[in-house]
Every structure is written in structure tokens, then in C-alpha cells.
Structure 1
Amino acid sequence: MANVSGGSLPLSEGSVQRVPFTSYDAGWVVLCIGMAIGSGVVFMPLQMGVKGFWVSIAALAIAYPAVHYLSNLYIKSLSESGQCKDYTGIITEYLGPNWGIALSVVYFITLTKAMLVYSTTITHDSSSYLQVFNVTHASLAATYWFPLCVIAVMVAIGARGERLLFKVSGPLIVTKLSIVVFLGLSMIPYWSLKNVSFVTSSGALSFVRDVLVSLPFAVFSIVYIQILNPMNVAFRKLESNPAIATYRALRASKVAYFILIASVLFFAFSFLFATSAADAKYAVSQNISALALSARVIPGDTVKILATILNIVAILTAFLGAYLGFHDAMKGMVANILDRFMTRGPRFEKVLPFAIAAASTVILTCWVWANISSMALLQWTSPTFGLVSCIVPSYLVWRVPALKKFRSASVVFVAFVGIMLMSTPLFKLLEH
């Protein structure tokens, strides 16, 4: 693809250079979108249906600006580092090794949460679709063998399919985004104000509580912070001028952000107007996603087929993408512990990936058997995301002299949202 547009970047005082938007930039935009369209977009509409219109509006009004600010803050703080490396390494550079170790543990917990959510969603939604299309009469998710088989296959693909995943990720992500928009359009004939609850909880405290427990879903519906450091590193390696690299990363993030805002909001509100609050509560109780629910309650084959394809593609790519990071994080932690007691040889290095895959399969399958709510997990574990993505970058800006120039009201807002995300479990306890 040829250069299609450009932007202006001050490289030095009194000089401006035209920075073209290339196919490489577009590729990173697509990857940002693909990272965002995952568990959030398939669960947020359910939370909106359960909590109602005004709570949803308030949560979105807080979350979406916060995602924009924290993405910019993340990129800018990364770009000021003297080296191109992972975020944990940058934290170590800024604050010392103890912070680096602590953050790596929290980051691993965050990845583990994602794997648990995706494993449950894949198993329960695939079982739901088998019922919708009359392949089975009962839910296979309640059996012991079905979750084991599904998780084992997914882990096997994730452990061996990295190159294939990178090759097909672009078309898969474009497919995801296209179906999100088209599915929202397909629901328009079923819109009805009777499906939407405009009644809020009695009392200001109840309203605030409902907004805070809905906040993680709003954030996760468009957040793609996991890919910002790889994108920043890629541009830093490509461009000799760090200022240009930072500009291109910020621009790609901005384009992805506005595309996600338009498409995800349209889909979420289309779903809200097309399904009832009772349907949303049923989906939550059955641990299935908004997409699986739409295939159940909206007549016609179009929505069923589109919802099925989107759910499979969205969760599949999200699971495989998360597994790569999960596998590397687990491998690093295991190696770090074992290196204190033994010397690893070539044979050990060959066996370790298989051992991690086997352990991952057992852990994830046991989690699915426990049948713990994916939506509840997103809420209970939101503090790790709030800490890693909001609190730490904001703290860096106020602690590190080199980042002093980024201090602004938006940083305070990001830190405030991080505190709200960390308080979500407390308000979840007050929900009943």
C-alpha cells in the first residue's frame, strides 16, 4: 500500500517534517483493534442490559476518555526510556529491580485472569452454539470431557501456532471489526425502547456503586494497552529519530481508538435496544456472552451466523494472543525459580514448553469445571489492571524527573480511574 496520508511533527524548534501514514502504520492500527475486541466487547453489552441506560452512560463517559489518556501516557513514558525493551524492564530502569519484579508478578496475574476468562467463554459459548444449531440437546459444558478437549486443543494451537497466528491475524481482525459493525446493523429491526431500563438504583450511593462495578467492562471493551509497548519498540527500531517513532505510535493509537469508539459503541447500544434486561440476566446466570445470547433470542439465521463467527474469531484470537504472553511469563517465572537450584540444560529447554502447556491445560480446565462467572472475574481482578495500566504510569510521571514534562490534569484523571478500578471489588461486595 502506498502512503495515504500524513501528519506534522516538530522535530526541532522551527522545523516541521511530514510523516506519512504507511501500510506499516495501518498494520499496527489493525493489531490494536484486534487486541481490544475480545472479552470486553462480548460482556459489556450484558452489563449494560443488567444495569440500565444511565449507569452505562456514566461508566462509558469515565472509561473511554481514560483509555485515551492512559494509552498516550503509556506510550510517552515508554518513549522516554533510553532503551527499547519490555515495560517491566523500563520500570526497572526508572525505579530499580524491586519494582520490576513486583510488576512482573502483577502482570502475570493480569495475563492469568485473561486466560481464565477466555477459557470459560470458549467452552460455554461453544456448548451454547451447539445447542442453538441443534447439534446437541444438553449443554456439554457441564461434562468433564468437553472442557478438557476444548482447552487442550486451544493450548496446543497456542503453543505451536505463533507464526500462523501472525500471518492470519490481520484478516481475522478485519473480519472481527466488520462483523461487529454488521451485527449492530442486523439488530436494528429488533430495536425497542421497551427493552431498555431507564430506571436507576435508588440513592446516589447505589448509582455510584453500579457505575463502578460496570467500569471494568467499559474499559476492557476498547482497551489495547497490552500491545502498546511492542508497537512502541517496533517504531523505535524502525525510526532513527525517537520523536518520529513516538509520533507514529501515538498516531496509530489515536486512529485505532476512534475506530473502536464508533464501532463498539454502535454494537453495544444496538444490542442494548434489541435484547431485554431479563435476557441479559439470563446470559449472566448461564455464564455465556452477549454474542451467544443474541444468537438465542433474536430470530433469523443472519444474526446467529454472524454472532457465531464473531465470537469464535474474537475469543480465538484473543485466547491465542494472550497465551503467547502467558506462556512466556510462566516460562520466565519457572526459569527464574529453578535457576536458583539447578543448571538448565538443552533437554530441559525442550521439555519445559510441553510441561507448561500441560500445566496450563490442567489449570484452565479445572477453572472451567468450577464454572466461576467470567463477568465476576473481570470485576474482582480489575485492581491488577488499574495498578499496572493506570497507577504505575501516573506514579512514574510524578516520581521520575525525565517524565516531569508529562504532568497534567489528564495524568491525575488516569490515576483516579485506576483507584476506581482498584475499588471495584469493594463495591461488588455491596451490590447485594
Structure 2
Amino acid sequence: MSITQDIPLSNEGETLSSWNKHDTRWMLSLFGTAVGAGILFLPINIGAGGFWPLVVMALLAGPMTFIAHRGLARFVLSSANDKADFTDVVEEHFGRSAGVLISVLYFLSIFPILLIYGVGLTNTVDSFMVNQLGMVPPPRILLSGILVIGMVAIMLAGEKVMLKTFEVIVYPLAAILFGLSLYLMPHWQLPQWDVVPEFGELSLTLWLAVPVTVFAFSHAAAISSFAQAQRRHYGQQASGKSERILKRTSIMLISFVLLFVFSCVLSLSPEQLAEAKAQNVSVLSYLANIHDNPFIVLLGPFIAFIAITSSFLGHFLGARESFNGLVSKHTKLSEKSTDKLGIVLMIICIWFAAVMNPSILGMMEALSGPVIAMILFVMPVIAIYKVPAMKQYRGKVSNYFVLVVGLLAVSAILFNF
């Protein structure tokens, strides 16, 4: 069931090379889905391995991000059904049994992230009210309920409101990341260029850094709805337009996020990065502690709030669509009843997790991670060589590149787990 049906086909006079507000809003929504709270830990997770592994991963991040998400979008658009979502496409191409299994795993890879964001959003606002505003926050059950229902209300308002919300919150997020990157430049400590780790040590560091990089830039949860929206808006040009939007999204992600990562890593010593990793705090919290800068202290909660909000919206989009597709196809419930049931159940679960405030982040990331890697990197490549509708993509070097990255990500996550 498509949940973004309030923008009709309206591509009159537009060409494949043209760019318009529709494209910009989807680029921002995909950027916002990718830039979640994880970005605040990315400099520590990648930078702790040393400077040269960081350089290698920075070079690989762009191709990894663009090729993988392009493959998933192509997979969704390969259906013979113009209104097919991810659940429809996997059943069409892989059969009913395998399709149901993949769809269930897809939902379970997204939904735990929503629970994480429900907890994170509540904690961020509660901490801001106590420490920065000097207020007594309302009871946790009330605060979390207002925040969760508020986020879901944005999604229920439709695609236009959702895209406009992304447009409002992503610009300041990108601006603040850029501003912080510039602020840290005077504190840069240039690395020792001649100190190169041994091959075995470098290989191990890179292997374990692959999943961190993959999921820091992942916006897979929104790709199915994104692809459907382009098919509705552009018709036969959907594949080409999707690729163009995804390319600009990847460039925007790499530009802002990697500048932020390099600036943070170069302003901290290897010992400080190791200490921050041991303390399990975000890079902004650690920078605020060592610089004693009120500007960073105030910006930290704000960045966390808009990063979590933007990523919550994108992941809710994917979870809602996945739930609707699974339940409506395999029960007697109508699409409208399924949608209402899914929204109520997800609100209750996210709200409950936010109230209970469990320490489940690492476990959920470990459970979600391998499935996301399989769906984003491995499955589209398998489909290219199995599905006749995707045969034009066979024999490309990019297929083997993204397949290897996906397998490395899965194996590294399981190794860490």
C-alpha cells in the first residue's frame, strides 16, 4: 500500500536533466533520513582506527552510498506493477514464501531503529530542559507521548507536509555541521603522514569500519517510498530521475558528513578518540568537555534533536509501508484498517520504549545491521542476475563492488556481535 499518494503525476515540460522543487525536497528527505544520531558517534568510531583507514573509507563512502541505494531503487522500480512497494516487488521476483520472509526481515531491520529514536528523542529533550533551560520536565510518560505523537502526526499529514518538514530541519542541520567543521579547523593536529599501519592491521581496521560507514550513510528505509513517488511523478523517466536525485543526495552526504568527520578527528588526538570511545559519548559531548565551550554545549542537544527527528521521519515512512504491505496482503483487513492498526501499534511500542528507557541500542544495531546490509547491498545484486526486468544492469563492475561491500559489512557485524 502506498502511503505517499497526495502528489499526482506532474512532469509536464520536464526533462531528465531538469531539476525542480520536487527533486530538491526528496534529496533533503533522503539526506535527513541518513543523518541520524549516529553521525555524532561516526568520527569516534571511524577515527579511532587511525588516519589512513579514515582516508580509505572516505574514498569508498561515496561509491558505496550511491551505488547501493541506486540498486535498491532500481529493484523497486523493476516491478511490472506501477503501484508496487518493496513488499510487492520481493514477492513478485522471489516468490511468496521468500518474499514474506524478506519483507518481515526488512520490517524488523527498520522498526528497532524507531524504538532507539523514541528513546533518544525523549532523553535529548529531557536533558535539554533540565540542563540548558533549568526547567522541571513533565513526567516522562507525558513528554515521550507528546514527542512520539508529534512526530507521527507529521507523517499522517501527507507527503507534502513531510517533505516540507525535511526542508525546514535539514538546512539548519547541514549549516550547523558545516559551521562546527570550520570552528574546529584552528584546532587541527596534522597527522604523521609517514606512519602507515601494517597491512594486516590496516585490513582489520578497514573491515570493522565498513558497517559503521555503511549505516552512517544509509537511507534505505525511505527508498521504496522514494521510488514510488518518482514513478508517480515522472512515469517512464522514474529510473533516470531517481538516479539523478540519489547522486546529488550522496554528494551532499559525503560533502557535509565527511568534512565534519575529518574536522573532528583532526582536532582530537588518537588518545582522546580512544577515551571518547571508552566513555561511549558523542563527539559533541566530548568536544564540549575538553573545550569548555558553551556554544558547543548548547548546539549539542539541538543537533541531536533535529538529527533524530529527521531520521525518525524517514524510518517511520519505511516501517509503515512495510507493515501495511505485509498485513494487508496476508490478512482480510482492508488497506485503510491495516494502516490505522499499524500506526496505533507503532505509536504504542515506540512510546512504551521511550518511557521504559532501556539500554538496547547495541543489541538492536547488531540485529538490524546485518539485515540492512543484505537488503541494501546483497539482494539487489542477486535480483540483477535473477530478474529478467533487471538484466540490462548485468556485467557491471559496480555490481561486484557493492556485493563485496555488503558481504564485508555483514561478516564484520557478526564478528563484532
Aligned equivalents of 1:50 and 1:176: distance in 2?
24
Partner of 1:233: 228
Partner of 1:104: 103
Query: Are positions 1:383 and 2:383 aligned together?
Result: no
Aligned equivalents of 2:249 and 2:56: distance in 1?
23
Partner of 2:402: 414
Q: 1:30 to 1:109 in 2, by over 3 A?
A: same
Q: 1:239 to 1:327 in 2, by over 3 A?
A: closer
Q: 1:245 to 1:281 in 2, by over 3 A?
A: same
User: Could you tell me whether the CA contact under 8 Å between 2:122 and 2:354 is conserved in 1?
Assistant: no
- TM-score, length of structure 2 as denominator length: 0.81
Paired residue type of 1:48 = I
The alpha-carbon deviation at position 257 of structure 1 amounts to 1.1
User: Could you tell me whether the CA contact under 8 Å between 1:125 and 1:292 is conserved in 2?
Assistant: no
User: Could you tell me whether the CA contact under 8 Å between 2:288 and 2:297 is conserved in 1?
Assistant: yes
Paired residue type of 1:385 = I
Higher mean alpha-carbon deviation, 168-177 vs 217-226, is at 217-226
Q: 1:165 to 1:362 in 2, by over 3 A?
A: same
Paired residue type of 2:146 = V
Aligned match for 2:26, one of 23, 28, 50? 28
Higher mean alpha-carbon deviation, 356-365 vs 178-187, is at 356-365
Q: 1:383 to 1:205 in 2, by over 3 A?
A: farther
Aligned match for 1:154, one of 117, 142, 147? 147
Partner of 2:6: none
Aligned equivalents of 1:403 and 1:112: distance in 2?
29
Aligned match for 1:177, one of 174, 178, 188? 174
Aligned equivalents of 2:283 and 2:372: distance in 1?
23
Partner of 2:265: 272
Q: 1:359 to 1:335 in 2, by over 3 A?
A: farther
Aligned equivalents of 2:220 and 2:338: distance in 1?
33
3-state SS of the aligned residue for 2:292?
coil
User: Could you tell me whether the CA contact under 8 Å between 1:152 and 1:361 is conserved in 2?
Assistant: yes
Aligned equivalents of 1:133 and 1:177: distance in 2?
23
User: Could you tell me whether the CA contact under 8 Å between 1:158 and 1:324 is conserved in 2?
Assistant: no
The alpha-carbon deviation at position 278 of structure 1 amounts to 4.5
Q: 1:200 to 1:213 in 2, by over 3 A?
A: farther
Partner of 2:245: 252
Q: 1:133 to 1:293 in 2, by over 3 A?
A: farther
Consecutive unaligned residues of structure 1, counting only runs of 5 or more, are 1-16
Q: 1:326 to 1:78 in 2, by over 3 A?
A: closer
Q: 1:62 to 1:352 in 2, by over 3 A?
A: closer
Aligned match for 1:359, one of 349, 362, 381? 349
User: Could you tell me whether the CA contact under 8 Å between 2:210 and 2:405 is conserved in 1?
Assistant: no
The alpha-carbon deviation at position 296 of structure 1 amounts to 3.1
Higher mean alpha-carbon deviation, 307-316 vs 158-167, is at 158-167
- Residues 408-431 of structure 1, C-alpha deviation per residue, up to 9 Å, x if partnerless? 1211111111111111234315xx
3-state SS of the aligned residue for 1:288?
coil
The alpha-carbon deviation at position 277 of structure 1 amounts to 4.0
The alpha-carbon deviation at position 60 of structure 1 amounts to 3.4
Aligned equivalents of 1:270 and 1:123: distance in 2?
29
Which protein has greater RCO, CA pairs closer than 8 Å, 6+ apart?
Answer: 2
Query: Are positions 1:394 and 2:387 aligned together?
Result: no
Partner of 2:302: 309
Aligned equivalents of 1:88 and 1:280: distance in 2?
42
The alpha-carbon deviation at position 332 of structure 1 amounts to 6.3
Aligned equivalents of 1:197 and 1:49: distance in 2?
15
The alpha-carbon deviation at position 389 of structure 1 amounts to 0.7
Aligned equivalents of 2:245 and 2:204: distance in 1?
34
The alpha-carbon deviation at position 283 of structure 1 amounts to 4.2
Aligned equivalents of 1:208 and 1:387: distance in 2?
22
Q: 1:132 to 1:54 in 2, by over 3 A?
A: farther
Q: How does 1:177-256 map to 2 (within 5 A)?
A: 177-193=174-190, 204-240=199-235, 242=236, 244-256=237-249
Aligned equivalents of 1:274 and 1:48: distance in 2?
14
Paired residue type of 1:264 = V
3-state SS of the aligned residue for 2:217?
coil
3-state SS of the aligned residue for 1:56?
helix
3-state SS of the aligned residue for 1:187?
helix
Q: 1:278 to 1:225 in 2, by over 3 A?
A: same
Partner of 2:3: none
- Residues 103-138 of structure 1, C-alpha deviation per residue, up to 9 Å, x if partnerless? 1111112112322432454355556656764849xx
Query: Are positions 1:262 and 2:255 aligned together?
Result: yes
3-state SS of the aligned residue for 2:90?
helix
User: Could you tell me whether the CA contact under 8 Å between 2:222 and 2:314 is conserved in 1?
Assistant: no
User: Could you tell me whether the CA contact under 8 Å between 2:16 and 2:241 is conserved in 1?
Assistant: no
Aligned equivalents of 1:165 and 1:130: distance in 2?
26
Task: State the number of aligned residues.
Answer: 396
Aligned equivalents of 1:287 and 1:233: distance in 2?
39
User: Could you tell me whether the CA contact under 8 Å between 2:214 and 2:409 is conserved in 1?
Assistant: no
Aligned equivalents of 1:158 and 1:100: distance in 2?
30
3-state SS of the aligned residue for 1:76?
helix
Aligned equivalents of 1:350 and 1:420: distance in 2?
39
Paired residue type of 1:186 = Y
Query: Are positions 1:38 and 2:36 aligned together?
Result: yes
Q: 1:276 to 1:415 in 2, by over 3 A?
A: same
Paired residue type of 2:185 = I
- Residues 263-322 of structure 1, C-alpha deviation per residue, up to 9 Å, x if partnerless? 111011111122344544454445432233333333333333333322211112222432
- Residues 146-184 of structure 1, C-alpha deviation per residue, up to 9 Å, x if partnerless? 5x5554333222333322654422111111111111111
- Residues 363-390 of structure 1, C-alpha deviation per residue, up to 9 Å, x if partnerless? 4544x33x2454x753554211111111
Aligned equivalents of 1:101 and 1:159: distance in 2?
26
Higher mean alpha-carbon deviation, 169-178 vs 314-323, is at 314-323
Partner of 1:319: 312
Paired residue type of 1:402 = A
User: Could you tell me whether the CA contact under 8 Å between 1:386 and 1:418 is conserved in 2?
Assistant: yes
Partner of 1:54: 52
Aligned equivalents of 1:104 and 1:92: distance in 2?
9
Partner of 1:12: none
Partner of 1:87: 86
Aligned equivalents of 1:25 and 1:112: distance in 2?
27
